[in-house]
């Protein structure tokens, strides 16, 4: 029996393309397990993949569109493939071929897992390079400021360079004690909130 597994990393991505390709490869639609979960989550912790592993049996075939659908780290991918091969389950990766429990399957498995990890490292490197380039061009990273520059200046004038939770508690206390103070009337934040 053929089974398929398709996965996307984020909610905004669509599983339809992978699902259609699996059906075209002869996987019955009822035997396709799909989920939207990050590949960095270990295969053991992916709910749909776990259901697939409970259903698939010796002599069956698991079809995936790409090796990285099984996992992101070499260790996780090798573990998944080794466990499936040990149970007599063939793994077919579209565009690569079928990995069976033989010498050629072992060689293919090790090469593919290494390439998958290398590709992931390249993606991370490109992302970090892009981030550094953006920061060098003045792009501010991280979440937006919750306080306006005016509010930040008012707090700095009042408390200097103090930081930490106790400082923020003192700031809120001061703001609550001085709600009509001209320095804090424009902050626009509820003064009853405490950290």
pLDDT in tens, 18-67: 999 999 999 999 999 999 988 778 888 899 999 999 999 999 999 999 88
The CATH number that applies at residue 60 is 3.40.50.1390
Same domain, 111 and 17: yes
The Cα 19–Cα 16 span in angstroms is 5
Same domain, 17 and 110: yes
Same domain, 117 and 147: no
Same domain, 111 and 37: yes
Task: Look up 168 and say whether it is catalytic.
Answer: no
> For residue 26, what are the domain limits?
2-122
Report the number of distinct structural domains present in the chain.
Answer: 2
Share of the chain above pLDDT 70, in %: 83
User: Would you state the pLDDT for residue 180?
Assistant: 59
Last-in-domain residue among 90, 122, 154: 122
Same domain, 150 and 107: no
Residue 124 has pLDDT above 70, yes or no: yes
Which one of 9, 73, 106, 168 is the catalytic residue?
9
Share of the chain above pLDDT 90, in %: 32
129 is a domain residue: no
Nearest to 171 by CA among 182, 157, 180: 157
Same domain, 22 and 63: yes
132 is a domain residue: no
131 is a domain residue: no
Same domain, 113 and 156: no
Q: The pTM is what?
A: 0.57
**What is the separation of C-alpha 131 from the centre of its chain, rounded to a whole number of angstroms?**
18
**Most distant CA atoms of the chain, gap in Å:** 79
130 is a domain residue: no
pLDDT higher for 85 or 165? 85
Last-in-domain residue among 72, 88, 122: 122
> What is the token pair recorded at 133?
């380039």
β-pair type (32-36, 61-64): unpaired
Same domain, 96 and 160: no
Same domain, 26 and 109: yes
127 is a domain residue: no
């Amino acid at each position: 029996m053929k089974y398929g597994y398709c996965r996307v990393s984020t909610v905004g991505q669509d599983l339809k393309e992978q699902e259609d390709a699996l059906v075209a490869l002869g996987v019955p639609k009822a035997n396709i397990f799909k989920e939207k979960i990050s590949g960095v989550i270990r295969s053991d912790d992916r709910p749909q993949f776990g259901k697939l592993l409970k259903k698939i049996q010796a002599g069956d075939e698991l079809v995936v569109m790409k090796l990285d659908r099984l996992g992101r780290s070499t260790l996780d991918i090798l573990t998944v493939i080794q466990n499936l091969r040990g149970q007599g389950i063939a793994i077919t990766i579209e565009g690569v071929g079928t990995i069976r429990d033989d010498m050629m399957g072992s060689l293919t498995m090790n090469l593919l897992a290494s390439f998958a990890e290398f590709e992931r490292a390249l993606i991370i490197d490109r992302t970090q390079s892009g981030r550094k380039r953006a920061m060098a061009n003045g792009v501010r990273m991280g979440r937006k400021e919750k306080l306006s520059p005016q509010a930040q200046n008012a707090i700095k004038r009042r408390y200097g360079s103090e930081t930490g939770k106790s400082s923020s508690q003192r700031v809120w206390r001061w703001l609550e004690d001085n709600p009509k103070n001209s320095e804090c009337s424009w902050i626009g934040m509820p003064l009853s909130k405490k950290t």
